[in-house]
Amino acid sequence: MKVTRQTAFRTALLSACFGVLACASSALAQSVTFEKPQERGYVAPIIGANTHFGTVRVLGYKDAHKVREQLGQIGATSFRDYMPWQSFNFPPSGPVLSKSGRLMNFLPQAGLTPMINLGLANSGVKGGVPPVSDSALEVFEDYVGKAVELTQQYDPIYEIWNEWNMYIGTGKPQPRIMGEGPKDDPRSASHYVRVAKVAVEKIRQVNPKAKIVVGAVGDDEDWGWAKAIVRDGVMDGADGLSVHLYNQCSANPHDRTAEEMIDRVEKLQADLRQVRGGTETPLYITEFGWPTSKGNCGMPLDTSAYNFAQFILHSATIPWIKGVWMHELKNISPDPVDRESNYGLFSYEDQAKPAACFMGAAAELVKSAESVEIREPRPDVFVARLVSGTGQKIVMWTKGDWVKAGYSTSAQPVKTQAMCEAEGLAKANAGRIGPAPVILDFSTQDPVTIKLGEVQQ
């Protein structure tokens, strides 16, 4: 099997096949053989989407029933939303929730695991932009405690702040900091670690069993800021580190892919192993996505759709990725040009984009699997095997439309189809692999070999 990734961690994962099977041994192999599976017990990662019920701005999230329906359509098991610091008043008697009413209404209706992001600067509190002073940190701690008290019955995952390394929360955005940042910059790693530790301790006081993730790391060159907060102890008492992945504005169009994100997060894990003396860090990808805006780094609808399916399928084979939340469920305005408005799987008017089908189909494949694995027998050509019941599915794709491959199989599948072919969004071409995943359905779990070849004209 051709292993093209450079990190030792990726190589180890591929050669181990995630504890399911032994991989092909040849570094130059152009075929993949899947033997009869020996182990089961696979646990799918959390699959979710970002929503905006907790913010003051409605951003199109008016109909809780419709949103619940859309989350079901994409196969979500979770949603991520906000209960901002600004949603509380602070009379002498203690914090009082005065906003975020739409979120409190949605929580009992959702029927899914909430991830609740706690934080965001509060200009109404002296020193609260962000809370780096002792007095502001005390108010922040009270807010965190009250937020947990109000929401713990829904068994949420709590996430501390959002992209602290990029923006303090008010005013004009400043130039990006590099690495951990200077101590006199409130966005520096040292300030975040202090705030996160206070929040984690407070959450544990109110709900000792709560699941907590820290970080919500935004754009971070070479992961310098993320490594610094982990080095300084941000994981103490936390269950995982959350990060955000985007690449729609990459200078090289071939890097605007799911695979680039996978490579980047694998590098982060490898770096964190060095920081933590070999300890593996549970990672939560709490934002990833590709906007479909017109211009302004926007992606074609079909390319975005293929990327979502590929990311769900590939990330599901990596055990330390505990959850992924796409950004975001629906467009937040009808503006077709504004990039931030066009990340949705659904339009502002609630019409499904192709990506809704592809993410939903990939999610259902992953959630129904009893074992999963992935191979890369040729650079940028991926072959995954998902086992469930008495059968198995082989799913194949290429990194992008600039990569093409032909294939043949040692056994005849019961059915061959492109993902979302029934909806008219893709079409399987006999013996060809492209960026739209192709699914081969086998009724047994007998060994099967996929042989790659050149595309036949």
Summarize pLDDT for 187-199 with one digit per residue, the tens.
Answer: 999 999 999 999 9
457: pLDDT confidence band, cut at 50, 70 and 90? Answer: low
The Cα–Cα gap between 355 and 301 comes to 7
The Cα–Cα gap between 90 and 125 comes to 9
CATH of domain 8-41+371-453: 2.60.40
Q: pLDDT per residue over 118-149, tens digit each?
A: 999 999 999 899 999 999 999 999 999 999 99
- State the pLDDT at residue 358: 98
The Cα–Cα gap between 53 and 64 comes to 9
Report yes or no: 383 and 394 within 8 Å, Cβ to Cβ. Answer: yes
Q: Where are the alpha helices (DSSP H) in 232-276?
A: 258-275
Q: How many CA atoms lie within 13 A of 425 on its CB side?
A: 23
Report yes or no: 317 and 366 within 8 Å, Cβ to Cβ. Answer: no
171: pLDDT confidence band, cut at 50, 70 and 90? Answer: confident
Q: Give every CB contact of residue 131 below 8 A, 6+ residues apart in sequence.
A: 121, 122, 125, 137, 139, 140, 195
SS3 48: strand
The Cα–Cα gap between 91 and 146 comes to 13
* Domain definitions of the chain by residue range: 8-41+371-453, 46-367
- State the pLDDT at residue 108: 97
Examine the pLDDT at 155 and tell me if it is beyond 80. yes
Phi then psi for residue 217, to 5 deg, are: -70, 125
CATH of domain 46-367: 3.20.20.80
The Cα–Cα gap between 228 and 181 comes to 9
Overall pTM > 0.85 = yes
Q: pLDDT per residue over 43-84, tens digit each?
A: 999 999 999 999 999 999 999 999 999 999 999 999 999 999
Indicate the range of 20-29, 119-128, 249-258, 282-291 predicted with least confidence.
Answer: 20-29
